[in-house]
């Protein structure tokens, strides 16, 4: 059962996790890099065939493809659809920076706290079809058959990211208090 104290602790952990990348320049640069890379990957996944064909002809089409697909997402789903992609890319950036910091501080066993990033990355993303990276894996047709064109799956991916970020908290501090520290 959720108590007032557990909800407050979760929100504190989430706040610490979201603010951690901004504590250092290295973390901020990592956040920007991962966020941009995730945004580009999610935009390219909105129309995988188009992306692969255009980029297969040459990387000089890269800018055209990203701008064209961003416009397509905006025209298809408006600011909400584009906002979902941007929010998802930003949360993915935070999760990756936090996972790297946690790996550096505690070791490989610490990454279980951020294990929700992978399902969220695979399921969420594309605002026009809901495919995310699953479109690249050939599951776009199955996702298109979902109710609300996969919108619930996109929201579920964002909720997973927020849940696991809040559960993990600040990557350099323990998110769980012990009886002795209370």
pLDDT by 10s per residue, the chain, length 182:
668 888 898 889 889 989 999 999 999 999 999 999 999 988 888 888 888 889 988 889 999 999 999 999 899 878 888 888 899 899 989 988 988 887 787 766 655 555 545 554 544 444 444 444 455 455 555 555 555 555 666 777 788 888 888 888 888 776 555 544 45
Three-class HEC string of 77-113: HHHHHHHHHHHHHHHHHHHHHHHHHHHHHCCHHHHHH
Give long-range contacts, CB 8 A cutoff, 24+ apart: 135-139: 135/45, 135/46, 135/48, 136/45, 136/48
């Amino acid at each position: 059962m959720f108590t007032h104290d557990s909800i407050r602790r979760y929100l504190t952990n989430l706040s610490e996790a979201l603010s951690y990348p901004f504590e250092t320049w290295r973390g901020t640069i990592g956040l920007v890099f991962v966020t941009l890379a995730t945004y580009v990957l999610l935009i390219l996944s909105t129309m995988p065939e188009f992306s692969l064909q255009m980029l297969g002809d040459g990387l000089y089409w890269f800018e055209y493809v990203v701008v064209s697909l961003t416009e397509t997402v905006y025209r298809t789903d408006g600011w909400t659809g584009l906002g979902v992609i941007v929010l998802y890319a930003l949360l993915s950036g935070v999760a990756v920076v936090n996972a790297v910091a946690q790996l550096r501080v505690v070791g490989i066993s610490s990454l279980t706290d951020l294990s929700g990033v992978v399902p969220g990355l695979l399921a969420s993303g594309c605002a026009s079809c809901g495919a995310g990276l699953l479109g690249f894996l050939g599951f776009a047709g199955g996702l298109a058959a979902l109710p609300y064109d996969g919108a619930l799956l996109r929201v579920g991916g964002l909720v997973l990211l927020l849940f696991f970020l809040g559960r993990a908290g600040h990557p350099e501090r323990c998110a769980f208090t012990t009886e002795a520290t209370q």
